[in-house]
Amino acid sequence: MRAPEFWSGGGGGLVPMLLSPFSALYAAATARRMARPGWQAPVPVICCGNATAGGAGKTTVALDLGRRLGNRGIGAHFLLRGYGGRIKGPARVDHVLHDSTAVGDEALLLAAERPTWVAADRAAGARAAIAANAQAIVMDDGLQNPTLAKDLSLLVIDGVSGFGNGRVIPAGPLREPVWAAASRCNAAIMIGEDETGALAQLPPGLPVLHARLKPGPEAELLAGQPVFAFCGIANPRKFFSTLQEAGAFVAGRQAYADHYPFDEGDLRELLAEADALRATPVTTRKDFVRIPPAFRNRVTVVTVLLEWVEPAAIEGLLDPVAARVPVPA
């Protein structure tokens, strides 16, 4: 689904006001749920979460942290709910057995790099990962899930959308008030420029790390070339901007709702439009795994990487986590 227009911008307006009683009930239910203690795993658990519904860059951050832990010799496993997939888990993601309808698109991206588990019950998923020799667990989302205790919680914020209109679901995009989410986090991560003043809503004293998205190496081949860009992500503008930053000429673009399930008809239309523009059809890694396999060889994938303004800051947050990794017997 696509987020309602009134979720962005200021918090005023008749519809958000009328929905505010339901928002209060939603926030209260979340607070009661989060008051319950979670299972303390014998290995460190890192949570890349956010305060809003929809994408903020959590998967990109999780991938980066998995690589950093790997560089330290730590065998981290990814854990997530598997949004959009039918499997409740716990189940280890297998590219041969699973597609995006089974485990969701983010799970397939994560599993391309490290062992990845989908589980509606995060504690059960963590137990399964530990039984499979996980030395650390990196959660993609789960800040509002109390079943698993976290050693390091990071509040990921998209600089373009921030916290939307600042209201809780259904009056706005927040899963809970900003202060409530931030109170359980060790630091916030601002991806891109803070275009909405989101940082001013954070509690004083919460460390803020800054990062930006940069095009992956394959984007260099598109410099100066016409492209037809399409995607079904929470913030399509980020993808289009990434292509322009890489020097590509965006001759056409098409945005779909987040996690949009592409079918063969969609791809025929998209490829026909790209052909009419004499442009290369391009999309994101997340969208690519939802494209029918028969069409994938005609679409170019452009990846993004996370670039930290101060890499030492994120490494410093990982130091105490690494110290908790059990020493092999």
Q: What is the pLDDT of residues 89-114, one digit of tens each?
A: 899 999 889 988 999 999 999 999 99
The percentage of the chain sitting over the pLDDT mark of 90, rounded to a whole number, equals: 78
Q: Please, which residues bridge with residue 281 across strands? A: 228
pTM of the model: 0.90
pLDDT of residue 12: 65
| 200 SS3 class | helix
Q: Locate tokens 């503008």: which residue? A: 237
Q: Find the farthest-apart pair of alpha carbons in the chain and give their distance in angstroms, rounded.
A: 62
Q: What is the pLDDT averaged over residues 56-67?
A: 93
Looking only at the bridges linking them, the beta strands covering 280-283 and 116-118 are: unpaired
* pLDDT interval class at 329 (50, 70, 90): low
Give the ranges where the chain is alpha helix by DSSP (H).
14-34, 58-71, 100-103, 105-111, 122-131, 178-183, 236-245, 264-276, 285-288, 311-323
Q: Is 161 exposed, middle or buried (0-12, 13-18, 19+ CB in 10 A)?
A: buried
pLDDT of 159 above 70: yes
The residue written with tokens 């494209």 in the block is 291
Residue 227 tokens, joined: 């492209």
**Residue at token pair 């439009």:** 273
Q: Right CATH number for 34-213+307-323 from 3.40.50.300, 2.30.30.90, 3.90.1640.30, 1.10.3720.10? A: 3.40.50.300
**Residue 154: closest CA among 124, 190, 118:** 190
Interval 125-134 mean pLDDT: 97
Q: How far apart are the C-alpha atoms of 277 and 253, rounded to whole Å?
A: 11
Cis amide leading into 170 (omega within 30): yes
pLDDT value, residue 114: 96
Residue 145's nearest CA partner among 70, 286, 45, 235 is: 45
C-alpha closest to that of 118 among 76, 61, 79, 66: 79
DSSP three-state, residue 270: helix
Mean of all residue pLDDT scores within the chain: 92
DSSP 135: S
Nearest to 15 by CA among 170, 175, 164: 170
Model confidence over 260-284: pLDDT tens digits? 999 999 999 999 999 999 999 999 9
> What 3-state DSSP class applies to 100?
helix
Give me the long-range contacts of 73-76 (CB less than 8 A, separation at least 24).
74/135, 74/136, 74/322, 74/325, 75/133, 75/134, 75/135, 75/136, 76/114, 76/134, 76/135, 76/136, 76/137, 76/138
Which whole number is the average pLDDT over 138-154? Answer: 96
The pair of three-digit structure tokens given for residue 325, joined into one six-digit string: 């990794």
Question: Residue 245 is encoded by which pair of tokens?
Answer: 């930053």
Strand extents, DSSP E, 113-186: 116-118, 136-140, 152-158
Buried b (16+ CB within 10 A) or exposed e, 187-222: bbbbbbebebebeebbeeeeeebbbbbebeeebeeb
